[in-house]
A and B are shown apart, each in its own frame.
Chain A
Amino acid sequence: MDAVFRALADDSRRQLLDRLRDKNGQTLGELCEGLDMSRQAVTKHLGILEAANLVATQRRGREKLHFLNPVPIFDIADRWIGKFERGRLRALSDLKKSLEAD
């Protein structure tokens, strides 16, 4: 669990996860596009994310694709969110989003 928190405790890494959330299955090249990070930095961050099991990779042909693996984050949330709290939490989250969007 520590590895997951450490991996998430970095804005650049969270940005990479955001990008995969928006478009899953990207190559290293695609992830580097339009980012203010060197290819080396992205590689380093992806390594940390992979080691924490937050990113999974697959080879498709000659390409190596990166996928957001939400399972460890789900496990953390699941540990402290009771069975019947989900509905209330979702309602609160939706309210927050709609208020912040104005």
Chain B
Amino acid sequence: MTGSSFVYVTYIRAPRQKVWDALTRPEFQKIYWFGGHQESDWKTGSSWKMFMPQHGLTDSGEILESDPPNRVVIKWRNEFRPKLKEEGYSRCVMELATEGDLTRLTISHTIEKENAQFIEAVSGGWPRILSSLKSLLETGAAHGDTRTTAQQAHDGT
């Protein structure tokens, strides 16, 4: 395999539509995504932007494919850290599938550059995000509400 990639899979005890809504609506994102949110209408070809409380715009790109509530592909580049921005656009695929009463959420994030710092940086945040998303959807509360760790996450600590 060339380039850098990771694939993360989590199973959430909630219907697919609910998982989709939590992934794409700012009011939910702010709870489990370190206080940040994304702006997009999630249609193919539309712009996509991510904002974090202390930093404003941190990432931007475009929706390459959209098939609610099953799959979305985002062209994604960091705008905030010059070294990461230089690495260019990555491709983030979010796939939702139903397995019994569970929704299987698969996140795969790929960039052409080998050993990309972008992938390393992003892969640090995702496990926490997925864990918090899961807990929000299954219990109604984001365990370890991530809004207070926003600063650490984007500093890569």
A residues neighboring B (CB under 8 Å): 24-26, 53, 56, 58, 60, 63, 65, 67, 69-71, 74-75, 78, 83
Among A53, A60, A71, A83, the residue within 8 A (CB) of B1 is: A60
Contact A65 B10 (CB under 8 A): no
Question: What is the minimal beta-carbon distance from B132 to any residue of chain A, in angstroms?
Answer: 9
Interface of A is mostly: mixed
13 contacts between A and B (CB under 8 A): A24-B1, A25-B1, A25-B5, A53-B10, A56-B8, A58-B7, A60-B1, A63-B1, A69-B7, A71-B8, A71-B130, A74-B127, A74-B131
B residues neighboring A (CB under 8 Å): 1, 5-11, 106, 108, 127-128, 130-131, 134, 143-144, 149
Question: Which residues on the B side are within 8 Å of A75 (C-beta)?
Answer: 10, 131, 134
CA distance A11 to B55 in the complex (A): 44
Question: Which residues on the B side are within 8 Å of A26 (C-beta)?
Answer: 1
Contact B6 A71 (CB under 8 A): no
Among B7, B127, B144, B149, max chain A CB count under 10 A is at: B7
Known A71-B10, A71-B130, A83-B144; judge A56-B5 contact (CB<8 A). Answer: no
Question: What is the minimal beta-carbon distance from B1 to any residue of chain A, in angstroms?
Answer: 4
